[in-house]
Amino acid sequence: MTKPLRVGVAGLGTVGAALIAQVAAQRAQLTARCGRPIEIVAVCARSKVKNRGVDLKKMKWFSDPVELAGDPGIDLFVELMGGSGDPAKTAVEFALASGKSVVTANKALLAKHGVKLAQLAEKSAVSLNYEAAVGAAIPIVKTLREGLTGNSINRIYGILNGTCNYILTRMEQEKLSFAECLKQAQQLGYAEANPAFDIEGHDTAQKLSLLASLAFGTKVDQSAIYVEGISSIAAADLAAADELGYRVKLLGVAVKTPQGIEQRVHPTMVRKDSSIAQVMGVTNAVTVDAEGINPITLIGPGAGGAATASAVLSDIADVARGHMTPPFGRPTASLSSVRKAPMQRHEGGYYIRLMARDKPGTAASIATRLAEQEISLESIVQRHPKDGPSADTAKGSVPVILITYATSEDGVRKALAAVGRDKVISGRPQVIRIEKN
C-alpha cells in the first residue's frame, strides 16, 4: 500500500468537525479513489475539551497552528481558522515554506495575500488549493483552474453570498422589507450579528477577486473591485423588477472590456428566465461566459459545514493523487496586473426609481436631463399608489421607474445629479444596474 497522506487540520469549527467525520466515513473510498489513504493525524484548535462530536483520540493535539504547520509529521496543512491576519497567515506561510501543501477555505487570506502565497507554494513545489473559498461545494475553482484550460473567458459572474441571496429571496417572495428579512436571517444563523461584511458586498468581493484571477490570469486584487451592498434595496424595487421580468440579485461580476477588466459587486437586475435568476435562498451560483460557447452555470450550496468540508476534501484528494496545478491556474510570474476598467466607463442598462414631485414640468425636466447625456429609455412607468402614499412615497411625490437602454455609468450619474439640482425629485434616486444574461 502506498504511503498515507498525513494531514494536519487547524480550526475545528463546523467545517473542521465535518471534515474529520467525512474522512472517517469515507476512508475506504478515499483510499481507492486517491490510490493512498488520507489520514488526519494532527489537529489544532483553541479548546481541547469542547465536544465536537468527532473522535480526535488518535490525533496529535497542537494548541499553536504555526507549530502544527511546521510539524514534520504532516504532509499537508489544512487551514480552517479564517481571517486574513494571524495566526492563519503565518501558519500558511510557514507550512508552504517548509514544503507542505496547503488546503484552505480562507477567502480573506487569499484575496489579500493570494499572489504572495502562490509564489511561496511554487517555490516549494507544493499545492495551494482553495476550492472551498468560493461557493463551498460548487466545483468552480477546479472548473476554472483545470477544466476551462483552453478557453478564453469573457465574463464570470455569480451569486457568491448566501446571506444576501436569502434576504433578497425573502423580500421578493414575502414582500417584506430589507430590515425584516435581515432580522430573520440573523435568527436563522444565516447572517452575523454584525452583518455589514455580507450585506455590504465585501464577502462577495473577496470571492470575486479569486474568480477574476482564475478566469483572466490576473493578480488577485480586491482593491480593483467596485462594491455596493444590498441595504438600499426596497420591496418596491423587487416588485418593479418582477413586473418588468427581472429579479434582483447581489452579483459579483468580472468582465473583459476594451478599457480593461471591470470587477464589480452590486445589486443587479437579471432576467427572470436566466439560470442565475432561479437561484433562491442561501444557494450560490456562478456563470462563466467563455468565447464561442454558451454559458456554463454551476449551482450549489455556498456555505455550511458539510458543503465546505466536501470541497476541502476534494482539494485534499488532489494532493493525495499527486495532482498539482498552479494556485491561480498559471505560473504566478505570468499573472498580469489588473488593468482596471473605471466604473464610470461601465456600460449597460439601468433601472432608475425616482420619487418625482407631482407638479407640472417634472417629466420634461427629467427627460431633458437624460437626453443631455444621450440616455435612451426602454420603458417609463409612473405609479400612482393605490392605497395612498406608502412608506416609500414622500408627500406630493409619485414613484417613476425608468429602464434605460445600454448607456454609460458616467452619463447616468451626471443625468441624475442634474435632476437632483433641478429639485424635481425628493430623496435619492435608486439605481440598479441590469446585467445581460
CA 168 to mean position of chain CA atoms: 15
* d(C-alpha 210, C-alpha 206), whole Å: 7
Instruction: Give the nearest distance from C-beta 174 to a copy of itself in angstroms.
Output: 15
Query: At how many degrees (to 10) do helices 409-421 and 362-372 cross?
Result: 150
Task: Give me the half-sphere count of Cα atoms (radius 13 Å) on the Cβ side of residue 387.
Answer: 3
Instruction: Give the nearest distance from C-beta 88 to a copy of itself in angstroms.
Output: 23
**Site for a copy of itself contains 330 (CB under 8 A):** yes
Q: Do 250 and 201 meet the contact criterion of CB atoms below 8 Å apart?
A: yes
Instruction: Give the nearest distance from C-beta 412 to a copy of itself in angstroms.
Output: 31
The pairs formed by 65-69 with CB atoms below 8 angstroms and a separation of 24 or more are 65/10, 65/11, 65/91, 66/90, 66/91, 66/94, 68/8, 68/10, 68/42, 68/43, 68/44, 69/8, 69/10, 69/94, 69/95, 69/98, 69/100
Q: Which one, 301 or 429, has the nearer CB to a copy of itself?
A: 301
Residues 6+ apart with CB under 8 A from 76: 5, 6, 7, 8, 100, 101, 102, 103, 316, 319
**Site for a copy of itself contains 25 (CB under 8 A):** yes
**Which region, judged by CB under 8 A, interacts with a copy of itself, from 23-31, 70-78, 199-207, 258-266?**
23-31
**Site for a copy of itself contains 4 (CB under 8 A):** no
**Site for a copy of itself contains 13 (CB under 8 A):** no
**Site for a copy of itself contains 314 (CB under 8 A):** yes
**Site for a copy of itself contains 24 (CB under 8 A):** no
Nearest to 401 by CA among 391, 392, 410: 392
**Site for a copy of itself contains 26 (CB under 8 A):** yes
Q: Do 212 and 254 meet the contact criterion of CB atoms below 8 Å apart?
A: yes
- Applying CB under 8 A, the site for a copy of itself has a residue count of 58
Instruction: Give the nearest distance from C-beta 101 to a copy of itself in angstroms.
Output: 15
**Site for a copy of itself contains 336 (CB under 8 A):** no
| 30 to 59: interface string for a copy of itself, x by CB under 8 A | x-xxxx------------------------
58 is catalytic: no
Binding residues among 245-304 for a copy of itself as defined by CB under 8 A:
273, 275, 278-280, 283, 290, 292-301, 304
**Site for a copy of itself contains 149 (CB under 8 A):** yes
The residue annotated as part of the active site, out of 207, 219, 249, 256, is 207
Nearest to 69 by CA among 139, 19, 11: 11
**Site for a copy of itself contains 341 (CB under 8 A):** no
**Site for a copy of itself contains 119 (CB under 8 A):** no
**Site for a copy of itself contains 29 (CB under 8 A):** yes
Which DSSP state fits 324?
A: -
**Site for a copy of itself contains 390 (CB under 8 A):** no
* d(C-alpha 346, C-alpha 336), whole Å: 22
Instruction: Give the nearest distance from C-beta 246 to a copy of itself in angstroms.
Output: 15
**Site for a copy of itself contains 138 (CB under 8 A):** yes
Q: Is the peptide bond before 301 cis (omega within 30 degrees of 0)?
A: no
**Site for a copy of itself contains 181 (CB under 8 A):** no
The residue with cell 499572489 is: 115
One-letter amino acid for residue 323 of the chain: H
**Site for a copy of itself contains 205 (CB under 8 A):** no
- In three-state secondary structure terms, 10 is strand
- In three-state secondary structure terms, 49 is coil
Question: Which chain residues interact with a copy of itself by CB under 8 A?
Answer: 22-23, 25-26, 29-30, 32-35, 131, 137-139, 142-143, 146-152, 217, 273, 275, 278-280, 283, 290, 292-301, 304, 306-307, 310, 313-314, 316-318, 321, 323, 325-326, 329-331, 334
Give the residue numbers marked as catalytic.
Answer: 207
